[in-house]
Amino acid sequence: MGAYTDFHRRSIADRESFWTDEARRIHWHRPFSQVLDYSKPPFAKWFVGGQTNLCHNAIDRHLAARGDQPALVYISTETNTEKTYTYRELHTEVNRCAAVIAAQGVVRGDRVLLYMPMIPEAAIAMLACARLGAVHSVVFGGFAAASCASRIDDAKPKLLITADAGLRGGKAIHYKPLVDEAMRLAKHPPKNVLIVNRGIDKDFKPVPGRDLDYAEETRKHADAQVPVTWLESSDPSYILYTSGTTGKPKGVQRDTGGYAVALASSMEHIYCGKPGETMFTTSDVGWVVGHSYIVYGPLIQGMTTIFYEGLPIRPDAGIWWKIVADHKVSVMFSSPTAVRVLKKQDPAYMTKYDLSSLKHLFLAGEPLDEPTHRWIHDALGKPVIDHYWQTETGWPILSLAPGIEPAKVKYGSPGYPVYGYDLKLLRETDATEAGPDEKGVLTIAPPLPPGCMTTVWGDDERFVSTYFSDFPGKLLYSTFDWGVRDKDGYTFILGRTDDVINVAGHRIGTREIEEAVQAHSNIAEVAVVGVADPVKGQMPLAFAVVKDAKKVEAEADRAQQEKEVLAAVDRQLGAIARPKRVYFVTLLPKTRSGKLLRRSIQALAEGRDPGDLTTIEDPTALAQIRAALGVK
Ligand code: PRX
């Protein structure tokens, strides 16, 4: 990996000239005068003095050369629709939407909360916010009303945009009642809700004076031309909430210029997507992957992006490969869970379609186990590149970079440090560098490269105390992931160092689930751990102590309590956080100082040794966990 090693070295040793070159990939309304302002560590300001705009870079800039090229192809196997927007058409729609948003009084710096299914209006609204310099905060549609409400209260949006309903596997998910509930729960609800009425919810009733109909409003602004608002490079582009160890998700704040440059650069060097080609990212716009590689990345690069609403196996397990063949997809991005789902299907689907256009398949979001990596690599006959990153970074931390050097894949590894990242694998005890094959905590020596989070929304102090305080006395960004590096420089991820779990690529804090379980009136205390799952990677398991033990004495009562607790989690967080099981115990294993022994519980649930138990307060607590799980 000689060429890449040099490339990476230059990105760290000669940071300013490296990023000056990369910054040429985007349009600057006003050129920057300073590449990096790092006068207030760990806060980094990239491309100081420069003015740009994400929407301009994603759409307007391409109009002259590729106005008639498809920009976004919406494919829904839920409604059996396919709709193509050329760059010109997308420009028109974004202008209309921007005019509607502006008419609600939204100006530069105001927040707009999006709670949307996978419909093109989600991308259009994101781009429209970017055009106005408004800060969007997309909340994944699978989150419950209470989660949506807490994000409303943190971001204090001026407007909420939603739809009547989403569809999943043919089943309607009604957003409107969830939004009504979230608006009721929020302390700072926005005045208006703009609703895309898809006609799915037959009982749809707008709230007079509050709800606005998207079709009607955009009709009023059919010919709108909304000028781009030029932003300072470090002005926020969006907030995206993500889970950590506390019950309160953090608003990851992203800048404008650094993000645009990082995306444009990664499209070239990592994803190898060329203007005019097609990218298919199977995520949801509610996640960081959707922000970076369904919406902004491919459009900034002048590609066609596939915007897919549906499941990977409906109408059959060949649907994604059919899309690749029909649209000559050259770059595809998906998740290990999706691949594990496909692995269980008839392998004939993998060879049914002409996949000759496809250069690489990228996977991220959760650990990719070696057998699955090998299987999909062989089944596709294409390089499958596992790459590792976080909501916080916005683009890859570890990856191969086939745009710089042909990819030499090692199964089970997301490759080597991405340029721009000064990555260190540190011993937990003294922050010294781990040797080859020795486990360490993956950390980034700041400044974080362009594109990464710039702070926690509204809470600079939390940015520092959360991410830069893992190694006392040293200002280092912790990823909270364990890793190990082999002698060839390939890193392998060994799981989180904190209490965050990963369910089918969805990142959830066990604290959040515990708080949701405790919302049930009969729960006194609970421990939630993530246990290995063959398809979803991990699943939450809950061990709860009840207040009234009589309610869990008989088997039928226990089943009823479990059902109620699961319903409480659905209500607070959404079904994605629902534990696989809730076990009732009278005592939880804790240290003498009262710390929950989550790792020991997790080990028992995964059939492993519970480890050092010398600090346990009452050993019978573990015996109860064993009994509940039916293990010896
Ligand atoms: O634990 C790591 C895991 O997912 C976390 C980040 O999740 P999220 O913020 O949702 O961002 C996903 C962006 C792709 C990480 O801290 N993770 C992500 N990718 C990988 C991974 N674990 C192992 N291998 C990966 N490729």
pLDDT digits (tens, 9 = 90+) for 582-612: 999 999 999 988 889 998 999 999 999 988 8
Q: What is the whole-number distance in angstroms between the Cα of residue 220 and the centre of ligand 1?
A: 43
Instruction: State in Å, rounded, how far the first CA of the chain is from the last one.
Output: 49
pLDDT for residue 248 is more than 70: yes
DSSP one-letter code for 428: T
Exposure b/e, 408-431, CB count within 10 A at least 16 = b: ebbebbbbbbbbbbbbbbbeeeeb
Backbone angles phi, psi at 18, to 5 degrees: -60, -50
> Which domains are assigned to the chain?
500-629 (3.30.300.30)
Residue 417, preceding peptide bond in cis (omega within 30° of 0): no
Q: What is the whole-number distance in angstroms between the Cα of residue 417 and the centre of ligand 1?
A: 14
Q: What is the whole-number distance in angstroms between the Cα of residue 578 and the centre of ligand 1?
A: 20
Determine if ligand 1 sits within 6 Å of the CB of residue 367: yes
DSSP one-letter code for 235: S
Query: What are 397's two structure tokens?
Result: 């931390």
Spatial distance between the Cα atoms of 454 and 235, rounded to a whole number of angstroms: 10
Query: What are 593's two structure tokens?
Result: 């100082």
- Give the pLDDT of residue 631: 85
Q: Crossing angle of helices 336-343/370-380, nearest 10°?
A: 70
Residue 556 makes CB contacts below 8 A (sequence gap 6+) with none
pLDDT for residue 236 is more than 90: yes
Residue 72 makes CB contacts below 8 A (sequence gap 6+) with 84, 85, 90, 120, 123, 299, 304, 305, 307
State which amino acid sits at residue 102: A
* 309 beta partners: 76
Beta-sheet strand order (sheet of 440-444): 423-426, 440-444, 477-485, 491-496
Residue 447, preceding peptide bond in cis (omega within 30° of 0): yes
Residue 157, preceding peptide bond in cis (omega within 30° of 0): no
Give the nearest ligand 1 atom to 396 CA. 14
Spatial distance between the Cα atoms of 14 and 376, rounded to a whole number of angstroms: 38
* Tens-place pLDDT, residues 150-190: 999 999 999 999 999 999 999 999 999 999 999 999 999 99
Spatial distance between the Cα atoms of 500 and 506, rounded to a whole number of angstroms: 10
Backbone angles phi, psi at 631, to 5 degrees: -110, 160
Mutation test residue for ligand 1: of 292, 390, 413, the one with most atoms within 8 Å of CB: 390
Mutation test residue for ligand 1: of 288, 366, 399, the one with most atoms within 8 Å of CB: 366
Q: What is the whole-number distance in angstroms between the Cα of residue 530 and the centre of ligand 1?
A: 15
DSSP one-letter code for 577: G
Determine if ligand 1 sits within 6 Å of the CB of residue 265: no
DSSP one-letter code for 227: P
Q: What is the whole-number distance in angstroms between the Cα of residue 293 and the centre of ligand 1?
A: 15
Average pLDDT, the chain: 96
SS3 assignment, position 444: strand
- Give the pLDDT of residue 13: 98
Query: What are 557's two structure tokens?
Result: 């009562």
- Give the pLDDT of residue 632: 76
Determine if ligand 1 sits within 6 Å of the CB of residue 320: no
Region 86-100 average pLDDT:
98
Determine if ligand 1 sits within 6 Å of the CB of residue 384: no
Determine if ligand 1 sits within 6 Å of the CB of residue 244: no
Nearest CA residue ID for atom 7, ligand 1: 390
Q: Band of the pLDDT at 501, cuts 50, 70, 90? A: very high
Give the nearest ligand 1 atom to 398 CA. 26
Q: Band of the pLDDT at 562, cuts 50, 70, 90? A: very high
The stretches of 191-283 forming alpha helices (DSSP H) are: 214-220, 257-269
Q: Any idea how long the chain is?
A: 632
Region 504-530 average pLDDT:
94
Determine if ligand 1 sits within 6 Å of the CB of residue 496: yes
| Cα–Cα separations (whole angstroms), residue 530 to 246, 483, 513, 578 | 16, 19, 11, 11
Determine if ligand 1 sits within 6 Å of the CB of residue 235: no
Determine if ligand 1 sits within 6 Å of the CB of residue 369: no
* Tens-place pLDDT, residues 437-482: 999 999 999 999 999 999 999 999 999 999 999 999 999 999 999 9
Determine if ligand 1 sits within 6 Å of the CB of residue 366: yes
pLDDT for residue 119 is more than 80: yes
Determine if ligand 1 sits within 6 Å of the CB of residue 122: no
Task: Render 170-187 in DSSP notation, one character per residue.
Answer: TEEEEHHHHHHHHHHH-S
Query: What are 17's two structure tokens?
Result: 């000239």
Q: What is the whole-number distance in angstroms between the Cα of residue 492 and the centre of ligand 1?
A: 12
Determine if ligand 1 sits within 6 Å of the CB of residue 289: yes
Q: What is the whole-number distance in angstroms between the Cα of residue 365 and the centre of ligand 1?
A: 4
Q: What is the whole-number distance in angstroms between the Cα of residue 538 and the centre of ligand 1?
A: 13
Q: What is the whole-number distance in angstroms between the Cα of residue 390 and the centre of ligand 1?
A: 5
Q: What percent of the chain has pLDDT over 70?
A: 100
Residue 627 makes CB contacts below 8 A (sequence gap 6+) with none
Q: What is the whole-number distance in angstroms between the Cα of residue 48 and the centre of ligand 1?
A: 30
Query: What are 207's two structure tokens?
Result: 């709230």
Give the nearest ligand 1 atom to 391 CA. 9
Q: What is the whole-number distance in angstroms between the Cα of residue 626 and the centre of ligand 1?
A: 30
Spatial distance between the Cα atoms of 133 and 238, rounded to a whole number of angstroms: 10
Task: Please indicate whether residue 613 or residue 62 has the higher confidence score (pLDDT).
Answer: 62
Spatial distance between the Cα atoms of 11 and 85, rounded to a whole number of angstroms: 37
- Give the pLDDT of residue 1: 59
Spatial distance between the Cα atoms of 58 and 299, rounded to a whole number of angstroms: 5
Give the nearest ligand 1 atom to 496 CA. 1
Give the nearest ligand 1 atom to 390 CA. 11
Determine if ligand 1 sits within 6 Å of the CB of residue 481: yes
Strands 278-281 and 329-334: parallel
- Give the pLDDT of residue 623: 92
Spatial distance between the Cα atoms of 260 and 151, rounded to a whole number of angstroms: 25
Query: What are 467's two structure tokens?
Result: 């991410």
Nearest CA residue ID for atom 14, ligand 1: 365
Q: Band of the pLDDT at 88, cuts 50, 70, 90? A: very high
Region 242-271 average pLDDT:
95
* Tens-place pLDDT, residues 353-368: 999 999 999 999 999 9
* Tens-place pLDDT, residues 2-14: 899 999 999 999 9
Q: How big is the chain by its Cα radius of gyration, in Å?
A: 24
Q: What is the whole-number distance in angstroms between the Cα of residue 502 and the centre of ligand 1?
A: 8
Nearest CA residue ID for atom 26, ligand 1: 388
Residue 25 makes CB contacts below 8 A (sequence gap 6+) with 261, 264, 265, 268
pTM of the complete model:
0.96
Query: Do 268 and 467 contact (CB within 8 A), yes or no?
Result: no
Spatial distance between the Cα atoms of 70 and 62, rounded to a whole number of angstroms: 11
Give the nearest ligand 1 atom to 495 CA. 1
